[in-house]
Amino acid sequence: MLIGRVIGEVWATQKQPSHEGRKVLYVQPLALDGSDRGQPILALDAVDAGVSERVLVVTEGFSAMTAVDRPNSPIDMAVIGIIDTVELVKDA
């Protein structure tokens, strides 16, 4: 899983019924200090996340399919939660 910030949305001419009624979100992965980490990714929305929210993203196909309760679907990443708090321990 990774933490990211929702930065946009993508509309596509889908031929996959599994994607109907779900948003495809552009998510910018974040480093521990909240700065950008690598390139943005695309994930199917399972929690109705909004732009600029910090979210929890699962990054594996079978995991992502079950997140939106649509097994056997072409889904490889899904937004599965909205972040409340991150607690880091100094000198862990």
Residue 54 parent element (H or E):
strand 54-58
In whole angstroms, the minimum distance from the beta carbon of 38 to its own copies comes to 9
Q: CB 57: neighbour CB atoms within 10 A?
A: 24
Task: State how far the Cα of 30 lies from the Cα of 33, in Å rounded to an integer.
Answer: 8
In whole angstroms, the minimum distance from the beta carbon of 76 to its own copies comes to 4
- What are the tokens at 79? 């937004």
Interface with its own copies: number of residues (CB under 8 A): 62
33 belongs to the binding site for its own copies (CB under 8 A): no
Q: Which residues here bind its own copies, judged by CB under 8 A?
A: 1-3, 5-16, 19, 24, 26, 28, 31-32, 37, 39-44, 46-47, 51-52, 56, 58-67, 71-78, 80-89, 92
